[in-house]
Structure 1
C-alpha cells in the first residue's frame, strides 16, 4: 500500500505541522533564526510560520527548501522532511544563494488566463509563454496529482514505507530542453486541470469575457506535459532570455474524468472522434448524451472509443448511447433535447444503481450494445415513464457474448 506522496505540497504539510508541534522549542527557533537571517527571513517570519499564521503554500518553494534543510539537520531521523526527497539537487543548491531582496517574482492564485477560447463549459484553450508556465511551476501553484497520473513510481524509503514519487525521465527532460534552447522544438499542447471539487469556498474558476480566472483555493493539476514543463524550467535556467509560446488546455474535471483523460492521452495519439463530438456537442443527440454524462450516474462510465474499456470502469460508449437514443427519439429542437435529458436522467440513475449493486459482467449487460440500450429505452417508454427497478434478468438479457463487441 502507498502511504505517502513525495511532492513539495506533501513536504509543506508535514513540515508545517511539525513546526507547529515544536513551536515552543527555543533551540529550534534559535537555529532557524541564526541560519535564515542571511536569507532575509527574520524572527517574525519564523514565528508566523511556526504558529501557522503564514502557510508554506503562500511562500516561495525556495524558502520551504531552506526551512526543511535546517529542521532536517536537527532531526535527521525524521526522514520525511528531508528536502532531497522532494527537490532536485539544483533547486537545493540555488536555495543557498536566495535572499528575499533578490528573489524571483512569484505568483499566487487567483491566476488570470487571457484570450481563452471556450471549447465547452469545463474546457478552455489559451496560448501561454514558457516564462509564464515556468513561473507557475516555480510558484508551486501547479500540482502533480498522483491520483490522476498513471506513471507515478512507487519506492520504499529508509523506514520501510512505500511512497509515491514523480516518475521523471531526466534524460528526456534534458533532450527536450536542448531542443528548446536550439530553437528546434515544435510547441505542443500542455493540459492543466482545475480539479472539480477542490475549492471549498467558490467555483474552481470563473470566466470574464475572453479570460478565465483560476480562483484562489483551486487545486491546479498538470494532466499532460510535466516533462515539457520541467524542460522549460531547465531552458529558462540556462538562458533567462529563452521564451516560446505553447497552446495550453484548462479542464475542470473531477478526479475520475481526469484519470480517464490521462489514460486516453497516454494510449492514443489521435483524439477519438466521439470525444471531439462530445466536446463540441454539435447535434441534439450529442447534446443529450453529453448532458446525461454530466448530470447522471453515467458520469465516468462512458467511453469514447469504438468499444468500452471495461477495466477503466466504462460500461458503454458515447456513440452507442447516441445511436440508441436517436432510434427512440425524434428530436428537432434543443427544447425537445432538454426534455429527453430530463426524462432519461432518473432512468440511468436507477440503472446504474442496479448495475453497481449487482456487479454483473459488463460484457453481458444491455449497456454493451446499441440494440441493448435501445431495448432498455423502449421498455422504459412502454411503462409510461414510471421509475421502476429494472430487474437484473432484463438487464442481462443480451445475445451471445461474442456478438456484443
Structure 2
C-alpha cells in the first residue's frame, strides 16, 4: 500500500459504505456479479465482509481491494475508495489478477477419476492402491453409496419408510482413531461400480488401460460400497476432524468390480466368508507390510531411488536400476523397521536426505560396474549407516568421511576375502554374502562412532 496508508484505514472508509451497498440492490448485484465472474468471489463472501465491516481490516488484502474498487466504480459518492489513492500501479495489477479459491474448491473431487498402477485380477475385478484422503473426499462429496440391495444389513427407523445404514459407532470411532494415529490396518476395501450408471459416451463404468495400467471410473458412475463401510466412514470422519493428521501419502487397497446387483451381492457374500487371519499372524504381516510400504514410497516418490528399485531381484543397471524391492525391504525390516505407520514418512525423508549426499559425493560411481558402493546388496549397508547417523545426530554431510578411504572397487582383494565377490570378481548373491556385507557395515559404524558422534 502507499506510504501512510494501512489496511485498517481502508477498512474504516469501506465501513462507511457497507450499509449503503447492502440497501442498494442494483449496486449490490453489479458488484457481486463482477467479482464472481472475474475473481470467483461469490455473493456469500462479499456479504461476509459487508455484514461485519470490521473484517475488512483483517481479511485477504486482495479481496478487500477488489471490493473497494467495485464500490468506487458502482457508487458515485465513494470517490475516497479510488484504488490509486491506496495502492501503487504494480499492486493494482496484482490484486486484479486475484482469484478466490475456497477450501471446498481445493478439496472437491469429481468423476471421471483415474488411478495409476491398477492391476486386473480377472473376473471383472481390479486392484488399486488409493490414498486415504481420496477415499474421504469421495465419501464427503457423495460419490460413495450404500446399496441396501447388496449389503447384508440395514435398519428401519420408526416413522421413516427408508432404511438407514446400520452403523456400529464403536467400530467407526476405533477406525477413526487408528487413521489419526497412522495405525490403520491395511485390509482391502471393495467397491462396485454399478452397471448401466455411466454417463460417459463409452457407456462403460470402468475403463482399464492395459498398456499404462490405469483404471478410470467414468462420469456418472454410481460407486457402491461392497465391503468396508465402517472403515470408509472411519477414514472420512478422521479426515473431517483433522485433515492435516491424515497422511496424504498413506494408501489402502481397493478392489473395484463392475457387476450387476445380483452378481455384486454374491461377490459381497464371498468377501464376508473369507477366512479370517490369526491375530498374531496379522500383526506380523502388518509389520512386514510397513517395510514394503516404506520401500514403495522410495520407489515411487521424488527421491534418488525413484524408478531405480526393481520389483524382482534381477536388477538391470542399463535400465537405471540399482537395487531390488526385496533387498531394500528386508534391510529396513532388519535394521530400520518402522514400528507404526506414522513413522514411515520420517524414515523415508531421512533416508532420501542421506542418499542425496551419497549420490552427490560419489556421482561418478553410481553406474560404475567396477564399484560396489552402489551395487544391489550394498544398499543394505546404506540403510545401516543412514540409521546410525540419524540416531546419533551425525550430519549426513560427513558421509564422505566414512567412505573416502575405502576402496570399493570389486577388484580389491578384501572383498574376495570377505566372500562378497568370487574368484571372477563377480558379486555373490547368497545369504552368506548378505551376512558379510551386514557385518562389514556394522563394524564400519562401530569404528567411526567415536570420531563422528560429537558432530
TM (norm. structure 2) is 0.36
Larger relative contact order (Cα-Cα within 8 Å, sequence gap ≥ 6): 1
Larger radius of gyration: 2
